[in-house]
Chain A
């Protein structure tokens, strides 16, 4: 099923002209398969070959843009069922709902909240991506007015109404911003499809728990020449989550394994439905919503509508998204060696950590925010965290001794004393023996390291 570099190479000019920046056509083909370059860079392709190649290289799941310019969200584009096979593309946008019948102050407050929520992790600022305007009032004019207000927001839009008149009214004011039309159902598909074509906007197809019907309606949309479709097979949050998972997985399997044209589209999950007739209090409902969001992000949701905006609910979802979408082909590691934090001299303390990117950035961040002055020795553990590297044998006396030698730290400082992570305590003796340095076992979590350096060293 997967396209190989050889399949691609056959369609290339095979002249090795190198104008694309690669040494040979074969090298270019390899990069194309890994989606690390663009076919447009090949200047010698005939139009005919270009189309064939574009078709061959099209991802299993269509990539769709919602919104424009700085507001754009890119959804879909996936090529595989499991991340280890390649990588997942385009982090699942998190879209927060807002309803058109809120009073003005509350409406503005919520928009502001959505725009301002952020959480920093491993040097990356994690934020929310879009706003889903719900036509809760059922009134076309109200929907239009609310849509107009959202024009000034910095986030992409999803317009939620099953009423074609309301949808049209809203599109009249924001139709040029490429909002996602949500959505077409069995009952309104003709009218909604016409709007999608008229305004050139992507459209979501909502067919709860009926893939047979979904396939049929997807076909209907495709037959009209609509190419940017998002599939919502319904999100059930209680025992129905089993069906929802099945539906999501089946859609993705049909797209990737069987290239079923009716299902080669991004999938939408709506964890916000957790709040529909919930029997639980707010805290428990929010915990449940985060759970549903995590479930769906794990199994192929390409875009999600969420209701809760509590930061403690969103942090785990944002973190999971960041983790799942890291590229497994690139080691999450920083270079080993000596790093300098703060103002240093030859009597400055020396702390030790691993080169797992998350570990390194966490320790670095903690030392900086704690205003510590310290050398940081970074050990090559092939990108593994402290406890994992200790258990796995990459973090041991000998490897630390080698690091001391190769880094030249003994020429930089006079001290022969090192603070090691608390989680490396079991090998403290071994490190002392192999390096000849005095070893001090530091805290288990680096949030306490800056104070530890000031008080104990």
Chain B
């Protein structure tokens, strides 16, 4: 105690302490600072900052709401978690789950797919099981979306039974969670999704989708009966999204069973509308709007419909590069607005998006960065 009193005496007129040649060895250390010392140390700190610079404080916000976490995959599937954010940006609090990519696979060979995609899957397009296996094995897909396009009355008019068989084939082939999409026919889709849901009972797939144009009650019932989640799709309209989500929850789903698709307008084809709606949706969630606190999904594949992605045109350069970039920039832009899961087609786009998405779960200033202080002379 004597030593401490001496030390305090010494510190009285001191601003800072510098220790030279200091070494400590210990097995276990507990430090108790007496209030007196704390005070002196604090005072020293205050004196140091009295120079007229202003302290830098990271602009961290407090949020009253958070995004619900949705589990996809159960039973024989691996588990994937979406959402769960408690803050907008990682410097406030890192995301608990990184954004997820789900690869598109189809129940028919899809003659309309652009060549840069076809060339990766030509050998497996006859069988959705093989196709799914390839995207998981060769391209590391976290998830697979099986689009039951063939059930469309004007496509092949496949029956619910055939749809169920396709689902079983894909379930057998891979162990990642599935998104199950139908053909976009409002009459038939709910019936198809019901059959698919039954075939995948307890595997916790994402049924795509429920919207205001079809019998969403049937879709919700299938999800509840067979333990799946539901994609809630609204057309770039935050109020429509709220209404639909409320209806879905009234039918028996919870926040943890819903993923929202606010609609992805591709780069150059209205992406700014998607930016605005998604940004507002995520901000509303963090402000506590319980109707909008679900994770968001993006049908990034829409990018391939843009002529800049597929149209042959000498002066625009090769489509081999234009297509993937169009899909990357579309997905990436929406990832920065908070989207949690991306439906995509091209392996290279997926790789690039994931690389950036994975930084979202890391803490600020914890990754090693290269020295760029001499970039002006070092750059080729």
Contact = CB atoms under 8 A, between A and B. Distances in A.
Interface of A: 82-84, 97, 99, 119, 121, 134-136, 138, 160-162, 185, 208-209, 211-212, 215-216, 219, 234-236, 238-243, 245-246, 249-250, 253-254, 257-258, 262, 270, 272-273, 275-277, 283, 286-288, 290-291, 294-295, 298-299, 307, 310-313, 315-317, 319-320, 322-324, 326, 328, 356, 358, 384-385, 388, 391-392, 445, 447
Interface of B: 53-54, 56, 58-59, 89-91, 213, 235-237, 263, 265, 267-272, 275-276, 279-280, 283, 307-308, 311, 315-318, 321-322, 324-326, 328-329, 332-333, 336, 348, 352, 355-356, 358-360, 362, 364-365, 367-370, 372-380
A275 to B, nearest CB: 6
A394 B315 CA distance: 36
A283 B321 contact: yes
B235 A391 contact: yes
Given A323-B268, A324-B275, A328-B272, A388 B236 contact: yes
Contacts of A240: 367-370
Contact of A246 (B89, B318, B326): B89
A211 B364 CA distance: 12
Given A246-B364, A258-B59, A385-B265, A315 B316 contact: yes
B373 A208 contact: yes
A246 B94 CA distance: 11
Contacts of B59: 250, 253-254, 257-258
Contact of B359 (A208, A241, A275, A384): A241
A216 B52 CA distance: 10
Given A219-B54, A312-B316, A316-B326, A246 B91 contact: yes
Nearest to B359: A242
Residue from the set B58, B90, B235 with the largest chain A CB neighbour count within 10 Å: B235
12 contacts: A97-B379, A134-B377, A135-B376, A161-B376, A243-B369, A245-B336, A273-B379, A276-B370, A287-B352, A290-B328, A298-B275, A388-B265
B270 A324 contact: no
B91 A312 contact: no
Please report whether the interface of chain A is mostly helix, strand, loop or mixed according to DSSP: helix
Contact of B348 (A138, A287, A385): A287
A319 B91 contact: no
Given A134-B376, A270-B375, A294-B333, A358 B268 contact: yes
A388 B233 CA distance: 12
Nearest to B212: A393
A249 B360 contact: no
Given A320-B267, A392-B237, A242 B325 contact: no
A249 to B, nearest CB: 6
A287 B54 contact: no
B270 A358 contact: yes
A291 B332 CA distance: 8
B270 A385 contact: yes
A250 B272 contact: no
Contacts of A328: 272, 276
Contact of B332 (A185, A250, A253, A294): A294
B376 A162 contact: yes
